[in-house]
A = this chain, B = another copy of it.
Amino acid sequence: SPIPGFKALDVASVLDYLEEKPDLAQLLGPRSSPTSWKAREVGDGNLNFVYIVEGPDGGLVVKQALPFLRLVGDDWPLGQQRIGYEAKALETENRYCPEHTPTLHLYDPRMALIVMQYLAPPHVILRLGLTEGHIYPQLADQVSRFLAQTLFHTSLIHLNSEQFRAQQANFLGNIELIRLTEQVIFSEPYFDASNNWHTSPHLDDLAKSFQTDEKIKAAISRLKALFMERGQAMLQADFHTGSLMVTEQTMFAIDAEFAFYGPMAFDVGKIIANLLLAYFASDGHEAAAGQSRQKQRTWLLQAVVEIWEKFESRFLDLWNAEGHGDLYPDSLFGPTAPAGSKSLKRAQQDFMKELFEDCLGMAAAVMTRRIIGIAHIQDFKLIESDDHRAPCERRALELAKSLLLGAPGRSIQQVVTAAESLRKEVPVMNGHA
């Protein structure tokens, strides 16, 4: 049931709503005629309504949560509190990485909406840009900065346990969206869920293997436990290429409504997975595009490597400079502690080794669910022919499987080399066994 006093906006009423907020109205400029402010609804997501409002002096975005899942409608009720978690997350992200976070102008709990900075064209959703064949030379650098800044500063390496638990408590109620993730990423692809679908019969054999292999079930359960039990940092928690708006120079993370305290590996792994999916999809777009995408593919794999490597080095730089939290405390690891620096180095190595393995596991889970779970992605959906799409999906799914089952100790370079090999080994026109 909706919040008392709540009213769903539309392209007309959103203008009146903003007019009543002088601070916001001012950003749009004078509403001197009935047409000087204009709104359009652009929500391409599954969950919410998003209005872009433009006036003579600028634009604003209003995102409103209705008490149901937009994709499905009234039949799938969904708490409107989710927008409050998005507001809290945006606040935190703005604190630690304003460069890559839209400014939050207002959170209105009664109306279940937020008003934020409008990311005007040429800003585009990264996923769309990728399917169109674009390259974003700054992306890996920007993504790694956002991840390092937000994950480090919300973790116990930076915070003391009191601050940390207070923050964690803020997100503990975001249960509906957390459960959605648990369900669609960590459960459904691994059993015969009615929501699942895949390119059939091409992938039947491989899809089935995810539901019958006890090693895979053990691996996904370990990752699920990590996701459900380990509150390590505040996650954006939906950090895929559909949640990034980019130009060649800029990158912003939007859509933080899934935010909660979880394992860092989930955010890092999810974006890596989505870039790998884009890599495998590119062959399917090549024919339609009428030109080679080899350059984009080369860049995508470089970006995967660069995201991990720069994330790692940025995170460690932050740790060395601001690691005064309750984990790895200065009393044991500071420069004046006996063997302090040596111990810190070792602890950091252990930490990064474990995090990297978990990232690969999370990446595998995310790739898998996009191919055999409920929610597929434009990268593949835009490849119209099953026969063209299936081999791309198969390559991605084979990589996911090997990451899920793989022995520890791989490097990020080995992962992208494996992706390249799979692209060569699995023939494009002979996808099904």
Tell me, yes or no, whether A102 is within 8 Å of chain B by CB.
no
Whose C-beta in chain B lies nearest to the C-beta of A220? B332
Contact A327 B228 (CB under 8 A): yes
Report the Cα distance A229→B230, complex, angstroms. 5
Shortest distance from the beta carbon of A195 to any chain B beta carbon, whole Å? 12
Shortest distance from the beta carbon of A183 to any chain B beta carbon, whole Å? 9
Chain A, 214-239, contact with B by CB distance < 8 Å: what is the 0/1 string? 11011011101100111110000000
Shortest distance from the beta carbon of A423 to any chain B beta carbon, whole Å? 30
Report the Cα distance A224→B333, complex, angstroms. 14
Tell me, yes or no, whether A169 is within 8 Å of chain B by CB.
yes
Q: Which residues of B contact A215 (CB under 8 A)?
A: 346
Contact A332 B156 (CB under 8 A): no
Contact A212 B172 (CB under 8 A): no
Shortest distance from the beta carbon of A318 to any chain B beta carbon, whole Å? 17
Chain A, 166-208, contact with B by CB distance < 8 Å: what is the 0/1 string? 0011001101001100100001001101000000000000000
Contact B211 A182 (CB under 8 A): no
Report the Cα distance A337→B221, complex, angstroms. 15
SS class, residues of chain A in contact with chain B: helix
Q: How many residues of A contact B (CB 8 A)?
A: 50
Q: Which residues of B contact A343 (CB under 8 A)?
A: 214, 217-218
Report the Cα distance A342→B333, complex, angstroms. 44
Tell me, yes or no, whether A425 is within 8 Å of chain B by CB.
no
Q: Which residues of B contact A228 (CB under 8 A)?
A: 156, 161, 164, 326-327
Tell me, yes or no, whether A328 is within 8 Å of chain B by CB.
yes
Contact A346 B156 (CB under 8 A): no
Q: Which residues of B contact A12 (CB under 8 A)?
A: none
Interface residues of A in 245-264 (CB under 8 A from B): none
> 10 smallest A-B Cβ distances: which pairs?
A214-B343, A217-B343, A191-B331, A212-B338, A214-B346, A218-B347, A169-B172, A214-B342, A212-B339, A229-B232
Measuring CB to CB, which residues of chain A are less than 8 angstroms from any residue of chain B?
Answer: 156, 161-162, 164-165, 168-169, 172-173, 175, 178-179, 182, 187, 190-191, 193, 211-215, 217-218, 220-222, 224-225, 228-232, 326-329, 331-333, 337-339, 342-343, 345-347, 350
A-B pairs with beta carbons under 8 Å apart, 9 shown: A161-B182, A164-B228, A165-B178, A187-B331, A218-B343, A225-B232, A228-B327, A229-B231, A229-B232
